[in-house]
Structure 1
Amino acid sequence: MIKILKNLSVYKWMVAAIFGLVFIQAMSELYLPTLMADIIDKGVVVGDIPYIWKIGGLMLVVSALSAIASIAVSFYSSKTAMGLGRDIRRKVFTHVENFSQQDFDKLGTASLITRTTNDITQVQQVVIMILRMVLTAPIMFVGGLIMALSKDMKLSLVIVATMPLLVGLILFILHKGIPLFKAVQKRIDRLNLVLRENLTGVRVVRAFNREKDEQVRLRGANEDLRDVSIKVNKVMAFMMPVMMLVMNLTVVGIIWFGGIRIDNGAMQIGDLMAYIQYVMLIMSSLVMASMMFIMIPRAAVSANRINEVLEMVPTFLDEGTEKADRERATLQFDQVSFSYPGAEEQALSNISFKSKAGEVTAIIGGTGAGKTTLVNLIPRFYEVASGTIRVNGVEIKDSSQEEIRSKIGFVPQKALLFSGTIAENIRFGKEDATQSEIEHAAEIAQATSFIEQLKDGYESVISQGGSNLSGGQKQRLAIARALVRKPDIYVFDDSFSALDYKTDANLRAALKEETKDATVVIVAQRVSSVMDADRIIVLDHGKVAGIGTHEELLQTNEVYQEIVESQLTEEDIA
């Protein structure tokens, strides 16, 4: 929690102003009971009306000063806490952007969302409370105690008797509450995970009629969160009535013994009234402290989760600044091996090949052969276990990730679009792309035909994830997004699977001219899509089973022969 609060240094002058206003508010509230005692003893009892008006007016001024200070404290503490939340959220997001895919896999998307939203909100709420109460509570407690003792020393024995009860109650709540707060945040993580999977996978759920099963799963996660939240609220609900009971019993005791002292002439009525007010201030300060002690542990759990993200060192960072321009439009794998964290076997073993400008390298193989894993290593989404990858003649570790990725036009296996217009989605590949460049990229990607049929053309709005487009339309826009970049290396990860044969053929013909000065890497399932490639890499269980042209592999490679025979007729093969 301390590490998070260090971010308040930016708002140090505002925090100082808040503490100043809190001090004014606290001193005003401590002064009011003394004025009330004076107005009763020296005004009401003796019937001095001018004195009542005089002290009454002073009480109004002090009350107004306290109210203004209280409003200002609320305003500035809220502004400070919201600013802190904004800063932390921005810091978390910026840091997470440096994570590799391995880091995302380790933390989980649902947990990162919870930490960036719910956890930071918890911290914001407790910061507001700290700024408003961390100074108020001790001033009220110490000031109230001093003023109460100054009114009557012997009557203060009542406070001494009840104080251990309140302190014990606070410690009991802390002991019970902290484990429950940790459990609440974990249950929120779980609920977010289940909900996110249901929303993103709604088509699959419906396709297999698993709505009821998913409802049961969500109900389970929801009820787990409810049960823990109820336990937390039971602790909170137990605290307030017991504390109020102790406070009221304390007041009863003070009135009882105070009445005896007034009867004996040792105390005045006004002093007793002021004494009761000071005791209430002391008890209120303890209630404030207990609220802080309850909220701070929960916020501390959230703060630790935020710090866990901020302190997490990315699996790999940029180690060099060399420009990737030594051998333009070249890609080389040299004895590259890779395994996923925790996996028993390597996903890729000793992969070696080199592709030059104007060449098309196709990667083919069965399911789980490692095709997508291989192309994910090119933009350095994952770090290789051994071997080297060179882009434009420079090892990717010797150049910044931004530099390497600026040379690559990547079309992922799953075409992901963002909410916005078609033009904005294509321009995502090149921020300063002109309208003519966007239209040219769309034409090469065979997307012009359906874009022009839309009412608003390139300004047509795409829903989140491209849900208002077909799979083929999304793929073509994803391809256009890569084309507008005009990179040195194009990577198409099974990016033509949703296209019909005619569109596929037209696209490949257009790509051939467009990418003649670049290296093209294609992952494909169809043999017909790779037959014309300059180099076909056949993967089998993460290893290279063969490299060559279609004709060479057809004559010499059994794995490729099996793939061809499963897809093409004898006439096609001939």
Structure 2
Amino acid sequence: MRIYGKYFNKYKVLFLSGVLFVLLEALCDLMQPTIMSRIIDDGIKSGQMSVILHYGLTMLAVTAAGACFAALRNILASRVSQNFGADLREDVFKKIIVFSESSADKIDSGSLITRMTNDTNQITQFINGMMRIFVKAPVTCVGSIILAVLLSVRLSLVLLAAVAVVTVLIVISMRLSYKRFAKVQYAIDKVNAVVQEYLLGVRLVKAFGRYGDEEEKFGAANESLASKSIASQLVIAWFSPLMSLTINIGIVLILFFGSVLFAGGGIEVGRVSAFLTYMTQILASLIMITAVFNMFVRTKASTERIAEVLNSEEDFPGGGSGAITGPAALEFKSVTFAYPAGSGLPAIRDLSFEIGAGKTLAVIGPTGSGKSTLAWLCLHFYDLNSGAIYLNGADIKNMDTGTLRESVALAPQKSMLFSGTVRDNIAWGKPGATKEEIIEAAAAAQADSFISRMPEGYESFLGQAGVNLSGGQKQRVSIARALVRKAPVLILDDCTSALDAVTEVKVRRGIARLNAGTVVIITQRITTAMNADMILVLDNGRRVGFGSHRELLASCRIYKEIFDSQIGEEFMR
């Protein structure tokens, strides 16, 4: 619970005020049975109407005061808990934004959504309940026990025995509940992950007609959630009746021994009535306390999941190097890297190369050779296992992360667009870009032609992930977004795979015309690579070739195999 310290400090005054009103409300409730015993023993028994009116009016005043205190604590509880929840969600989201790639790899997106919604809502409810009934229940319980003992020491022995049994039941219930409620939260994660995965791949599911498999997958996750929820609720289902039974047996025993004491003149009827009322209050309080502990167990599980997010590793802060202007030289020096959450095998092995400022480097190699990994490392998404990457002679590890990523524009392998207009998506690469800059970048990426034909042109709205565009259109918008930045280094990570050969050539020419920086083209196409100034050939993360097209044809077996498989010897004739 330490992670919530700053939120309690922020709302400390309102929280303590709410707790004060709860205590005053509980005090009003505790006074009523004693006042009632006075009405019975001092007023009704002796037939004194003035005593009845006096204590009756006092009881009404106490009840009215209790109602006012209850209304005030409800208002404060709602304000504090909802503001607390809003602050917590905001902090969790801010943390997710600055997640390192390692943190993002550890917690999947479905689980993050559950933690942002279900877990924070669980904590919000707990704060609300703590200010309403969670404080009142133990105060009322302890107060009722003390006042009951003052009324009759002998009858209180039965009461204390019942409370002791119920306390043991609560402790056992807590021990059994915690692990079960934690499993429920992870089962919710799984349901969310299955739904999210289906929504992301809905077209593929339709194309292959795999509805049955998706239904089966969801059914298994849903059944798992249901069974774990039932297992957690069974604890409550067993222990709540046992606690009620214990308290009700106590009430029966108090009625029996109270009647015996009354018959012998050892206690007055008003005191027995008050004692029974306190016993009822204790019953209600213990049921509330059980609910409190069950809620606490669930909140503890949610708190640990929220803490895992808030304590996750953040993105690299860097050292605050100055901004880069103009084309930048890029150098890898003995770089070795393995994904932290991967197989442990290096994706890049002892890689060294250098490309001069303003030059074009093509990176080619078999699938899984580490080409895309090279792009992520240039942006310092991960720390290297060994070696260093230099941009204009500066180690990127010592650069300010914001400055580095402003200096490197990326068109990723998988085009990711956002809900909003076409203009918004292109300007996303350069906030504040003018209309002319946006159109210029779109024209270079061969996107202006189809954007201009859209009903609203650049103001046309794109659905989530650009769902209303084709694959090739999304890639061209993604390239325009990278080009509009005019960064010192431009990385194109196989971002023209959905384009035909003619359009790709036009895009390459547009990039060469508009972009004056250093270009890194990651590709599977030999025709794209062969026109670069230098070509890097990777295989299993290692450099197996580095040079011009003709040099590699003569010296690199893998490059020649790729060339022959895509073009063949006819090209050389």
Class of the TM-score when normalised by the shorter of the 2 chains? over 0.9
Which has the larger displacement, 142-151 or 8-17?
A: 142-151
Q: Rate the CA distance shift 1:363–1:238 in 2: closer, same or farther, 3 A.
A: same
Q: Per-residue displacement from partner, 1:335-372 (whole Å, max 9, x unpaired)?
A: 22222235353222232222233311111111112111
Q: Write the letter of the residue equivalent to 1:430.
A: K
1:402 to partner: Cα distance: 0.9
2:94 counterpart SS class: helix
Superposition pairs of residues 104-119 of structure 1, within 5 angstroms: 104-119=104-119
Q: CA–CA distance in 2 between the matches of 1:284 and 1:41?
A: 26
Secondary structure of the equivalent of 1:354? strand
State how 1:193-204 maps to structure 2 within 5 Å.
193-204=193-204
**Could you say which residue in structure 1 is the equivalent of 2:228?**
228
- Contact 2:426/2:484 (<8 A) preserved: yes
Aligned to 2:483: 483
Partners of 2:254 and 2:109 lie apart in 1 by: 57
Counterpart residue identity of residue 329, structure 1:
A
Once the two structures are superposed, residues 421-459 of structure 1 have per-residue CA deviations (whole angstroms, 9 ceiling, x without a partner) of 212111211121222222222222211122122222222
1:364 corresponds to 2:364: yes
Q: Is the 8 A contact 1:326 1:394 kept in 2?
A: no
- The residue identity in structure 2 corresponding to 1:155 is L
Residue in 2 aligned with 1:302? 302
For residues 368 and 145 of structure 2, what CA distance do their matches in structure 1 show? 73
| Equivalent-residue separation in structure 1 for 2:545 and 2:494 (angstroms) | 19
Query: CA 1:35 to 1:344, structure 2 compared with 1: closer, same or farther past 3 Å?
Result: closer
Letter in 2 for 1:29: D
Q: Is the 8 A contact 2:318 2:401 kept in 1?
A: no
Shift of 1:47: 4.3
What 5-or-longer segments of structure 1 have no aligned partner?
none
Deviation per CA, 1:295-314: give whole Å up to 9, x if none: 21221122122222222334
Matches of residues 488-567 of structure 1 in structure 2 within 5 Å? 488-516=488-516, 518-567=517-566
- For residues 365-380 of structure 1, what are the structure 2 equivalents within 5 Å? 365-380=365-380
What CA distance in whole angstroms lies between the structure 2 residues aligned with 1:247 and 1:222? 38
Matched ranges for 1:74-153 at <5 A: 74-153=74-153
**Partners of 1:412 and 1:492 within 8 A in 2:** yes
For 1:344 and 1:297, locate their aligned partners in 2 and report how far apart those are by CA, in whole Å. Answer: 36
Residue 81 of structure 1 contacts residue 124 of structure 1 at CA under 8 Å; is this kept in 2? yes
Deviation larger for 223-232 or 145-154: 145-154
CA distance in 1, matches of 2:155, 2:540: 85
CA distance in 2, matches of 1:59, 1:453: 78
Alignment match, 1:170: 170
Aligned pairs for 1:204-353 (under 5 A) are 204-314=204-314, 317-325=316-324, 328-341=327-340, 342-353=342-353
Q: Deviations over 1:236-267 (max 9, x none)?
A: 12233222222222222222222233333333
Partner of 2:389: 389
Tell me the distance in 2 between the aligned counterparts of 1:366 and 1:11. 58
For each residue in 1:283-333, what CA deviation from the matched residue of structure 2 results, as whole angstroms up to 9, or x when unmatched? Answer: 32222222222221221122122222222334x733422225388522221
Alignment partners' CA distance in 2, 1:49 and 1:461: 79
Cα contact 2:155–2:254 (8 A) shared by 1: yes
**Is this contact kept in 1: 2:326–2:488, CA < 8 A?**
no
CA distance in 2: counterparts of 1:18 and 1:112, whole angstroms: 32
CA distance in structure 2 between the aligned counterparts of 1:454 and 1:53, rounded to whole angstroms: 82
2:497 alignment partner, SS class: coil
Percent identity of paired positions between Structure 1 and Structure 2:
39
How far residue 549 of structure 1 moved from its aligned partner, in angstroms, is 2.0
Deviations 1:521-561 (A, max 9, x none): 11111122222211111112212221222233233332222
Separation in 2 of the partners of 1:297 and 1:536? 59
**TM-score normalized with structure 2 length:** 0.94
The normalised TM-score by structure 1 is 0.94
| Equivalent-residue separation in structure 2 for 1:23 and 1:287 (angstroms) | 18
Partners of 1:375 and 1:298 lie apart in 2 by 42
Tell me, in whole angstroms, the C-alpha distance in 2 between the residues paired with 1:410 and 1:6: 38
Secondary structure of the corresponding residue to residue 186 of structure 1: helix
Shift of 1:58: 2.8
Shift, 1:225, TM fit: 1.3
C-alpha distance 530-553 of structure 1, shift in aligned 2 (>3 A): same
Question: For 2:324, what is the secondary structure of its paired residue?
Answer: coil
Deviation at 1:179, TM superposition (A): 1.9
What is the distance in 2 between the residues matched to 1:340 and 1:109?
A: 18
1:135 and 1:346 map into 2 onto residues whose CA distance is: 55
RMSD (Å) for aligned C-alpha atoms: 2.1
- Structure 2, gaps ≥5 residues long: none
